[in-house]
Structure 1
Amino acid sequence: MELITDVFGVITVEEKDIFHFEVGIPGFEELSSFVVIQDSTEASFSYLQSVERPELSFFLIDPFAFFPAYDFELPETAVKDLKAESIEQLLVRTIVTVRDKLSNATTNLVAPIVLNMEERVGKQVILIQTDYTTRHNLFPIETDEVKGGNP
């Protein structure tokens, strides 16, 4: 099928490439079909494109590439929802928000997107009892001292 997207223009999507999100994504519960569009130049970046609303896509990162110590235990209910038999089936990504400029980008480490690459199901998992934040800076925050400027 062909999708006319706001970000990528016309893209061809194979049925076998669609991920089903049974309960959608918080804030977009009515949407259940998404495809992952991989950045061709950087494996750490990708997009989660809605099939039902071509104007909607989420910018994703591989959180382990930016935060090597990132770790969490997937709740048993999520394992069941994702039909996961092994961790090797799963791909973890987090949603990035860019408000004004890329250097201020943040990512939501509290609610990773988890994809079962074999079963083609996905879920945004909300982590409980975590020290992670929903707006974790992707890049070190620049200060006047770091930039070499004066206040």
Structure 2
Amino acid sequence: MILQTKFHGEIELAEKEIYVFESGIPGFLEEKQFCLLTLDDTPFFVLQSTEKKQIAFIVTNPFDVFRDYEVKLTDEVLSSLNIETELEVITFVILTIQDPFNETTANLQAPIIINSSKKTGKQFIMNASEYRTKHRLFEPPVEQGGK
């Protein structure tokens, strides 16, 4: 299929590259199908709607940035995504890109969970956690002492 994308222009996409989000993504409940596209030579990806060109989220693997990050999937999530083994699970977090880029934040409270073998996904909102929707991706520079 030919797909119009927000960041990559027109691309060709195979059906096997589509992830189904049965419940959509909060705020975009009508969007049920997405693909994952690499973003050049960066640790970032684009979660691109297959229906609407302008609906595309910049995402990253949270474990590469936040070493102590933990996601405990509920039985409901495991069941709804048909997850049978930990090896099937891919976790991403949605970024809010800022200008300047070092002000960019990650939504650690609501990771994107994907079952790589079944090609299903959902945003898992962890309401009872210490995580917030805006965690700084980069540590602010340490102020140097006075003169």
TM-score if structure 2 supplies the norm length? 0.94
After superposition, the Cα gap between the structure-2 partners of 1:149 and 1:119, relative to the gap in structure 1 and judged at 3 Å, is: farther
The C-alpha deviation readout for 1:39-79, integer Å capped at 9, x for no partner, is: 3423x311100001012110001100001110121011011
1:27 matched to which residue of 2? 27
2:6 matched to which residue of 1? 6
Distance 1:115 1:38 in 2: 16
The C-alpha deviation readout for 1:15-55, integer Å capped at 9, x for no partner, is: 1110000010000000000000023423x311100001012
Alignment of 1:85-104 (within 5 A): 85-104=84-103
SS at match of 2:77: helix
Distance 2:72 2:140 in 1: 28
Distance 2:114 2:49 in 1: 14
**Structure 2: unaligned runs, 5 residues or longer:** none
Alignment of 1:1-150 (within 5 A): 1-42=1-42, 44-142=43-141, 145-146=143-144
**Structure 1: unaligned runs, 5 residues or longer:** none
After superposition, the Cα gap between the structure-2 partners of 1:114 and 1:149, relative to the gap in structure 1 and judged at 3 Å, is: farther
State the shift of 1:101 in Å: 1.7
SS at match of 1:37: strand
SS at match of 2:63: helix
Distance 1:115 1:70 in 2: 17
TM-score if structure 1 supplies the norm length? 0.91
State the shift of 1:99 in Å: 2.7
Between the two proteins, the alignment pairs up a number of residues equal to: 147
